[in-house]
Amino acid sequence: MDARDKKRIKGECIKLLREAGCDESVVEHCIAVAELALKIARRHYDSVDEYQVFRGALLHDIGRARSHTANHGFVGGEIAKELGLEEPVVRIIQRHVGAGITAEEAKEKGLPSVNFIPETMEEKIVAHADNLIDGVRRTSIEDAIEGFKDKLGDAHPSIRRVRMLHEEVMGR
Ligand SMILES: [Fe+2]
């Protein structure tokens, strides 16, 4: 992806976010996550699909047009399907919340009992980059984990998954 491609994709995705009804704060957050996700992909991985990472990261919070709960990943996937977006991007959106949501957790949240844990490296990179961006600011994994503990409680299984995702994505 050259600079021109990148600029074009960014413009297209920002337009989709705005048309879906996302606030400008969500748009700015998505841009920050996409820049970091692309940097991680380029620095650490030769074989990931940069386009998928960048488009998926730019659109990861499109669900926030309709929901700000942990269900916004699922909701975003539905919006992305309505827009006819490609399956890999739909999956990145659905699986980006924290380090993903298990089928059991999804069911508790009133979602279909489907596993929304990131599986491909593109999905993992976007979920991880999102954990490291607080608003538009880069944060540390420790601060990110503290934030999850405040929200979910120290013992929530998500905490361990967020740390493992960090180790897997960055630890090479
Ligand atoms: Fe999100």
- How many Å apart are CA 62 and CA 45, to the nearest integer? 26
pLDDT of residue 172: 57
Domain ranges across the chain = 3-170
Q: C-alpha 159: how far from its chain's center?
A: 16
Residue 171 has pLDDT above 90, yes or no: no
Assign 143 a pLDDT band (cuts: 50, 70, 90). very high
pLDDT digits (tens, 9 = 90+) for 73-103: 999 999 999 999 999 999 999 999 999 999 9
Counting residues of the chain whose pLDDT is more than 70, the rounded percentage is 99
The 3-state DSSP class for residue 71 equals coil
What is the whole-number distance in angstroms between the Cα of residue 2 and the centre of ligand 1?
Answer: 27
What is the whole-number distance in angstroms between the Cα of residue 73 and the centre of ligand 1?
Answer: 6
Q: C-alpha 52: how far from its chain's center?
A: 12
- How many Å apart are CA 142 and CA 134, to the nearest integer? 12
CATH node for 3-170: 1.10.3210.10
- What does the pLDDT average to over 108-136? 97
What is the whole-number distance in angstroms between the Cα of residue 97 and the centre of ligand 1?
Answer: 5
- How many Å apart are CA 31 and CA 25, to the nearest integer? 10
- Mean pLDDT (the chain) is 96
